[in-house]
Structure formats: C-alpha cells, structure tokens
C-alpha cells in the first residue's frame, strides 16, 4: 500500500508568479483535500475534491484552484502569488463512504514566495 506523495518538496517563487503543486493519493482513496500550514500555525483547509469535482472549500480566494484526475491524483494551483502564500502545503487522501475513514497526509511542499 503506497502512501501520499507530494511534489516538489521545496519551491521558491517570485511574487506575482503562478505555481502548481502535485499530489498522488494513497491507493484505494477517492478523495483528496489540501491544507495550508503557515509557520507556527495549524493547517487550514483549502478545498476538497471528490470524483474530480470540488465539493468543499475553505476561506481561500479564487486564485487558489485545483484539479483531481481519474486516478485520484490532484493538483493545487495558486495564481498571482503573494508573500503570505509562503507556507507548507499538505495534501491528504481519504475514502469517502468508508465508515470512520481516516486521512493520510503527504509530507508536504514547502513554498517560499520572495
């Protein structure tokens, strides 16, 4: 059973640029969610994808968008990067429909905006 894999592990971008982060879900999981963890804080929910559609969103602007592919892998796209977007971005996969399902997190992508 494979875990959740995120790429890249580290990234440095300039303010105003666009970035794409990638996540491969754990085998058998059909749902992926993304979290932003700023330095010294707990993770904050960005959005969730189920069956290739966004089915939940946190308090993040539209320049944060995503995709889920038929193999349940996912991308997080951020446009017009701001300095405050610097954070650890975590992907979590789970299986909707399984009672009391859990979440498996990846190791994250550390994004630095300069």
Partner 1 sequence: AQSVTQLDSHVSVSEGTPVLLRCNYSSSYSPSLFWYVQHPNKGLQLLLKYTSAATLVKGINGFEAEFKKSETSFHLTKPSAHMSDAAEYFCVVRKRDGYNKLIFGAGTRLAVHP
In the complex, the residues that contact partner 1 under the rule CB under 8 A are: 4, 6, 33, 35, 41-45, 48, 50, 55-56, 58, 90, 92, 94, 96, 100, 102-108, 110
The distance of closest approach from Cβ of residue 93 to partner 1 in the complex, given in angstroms and rounded to an integer, is 12
Indicate the residue among 14 and 39 with the shorter CB distance to partner 1: 39
Sheet strands (E) in the chain: 5-7, 10-13, 19-24, 31-37, 44-50, 53-57, 64-68, 74-78, 87-94, 104-105, 109-113
Indicate the residue among 62 and 99 with the shorter CB distance to partner 1: 99
């Amino acid at each position: 059973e494979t875990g959740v894999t995120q790429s890249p592990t580290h990234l440095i971008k300039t303010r105003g640029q666009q970035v794409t982060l990638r996540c491969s879900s754990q085998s058998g999981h059909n749902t992926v969610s993304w979290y932003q963890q700023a330095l010294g804080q707990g993770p904050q929910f960005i959005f969730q994808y189920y069956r290739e559609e966004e089915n939940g969103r946190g308090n993040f602007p539209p320049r944060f968008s995503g995709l889920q592919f038929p193999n349940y892998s996912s991308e997080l796209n951020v446009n017009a990067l701001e300095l405050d977007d610097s954070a650890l971005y975590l992907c979590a996969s789970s299986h909707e429909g399984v009672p009391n399902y859990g979440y498996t997190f990846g190791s994250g992508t550390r994004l630095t905006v300069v």
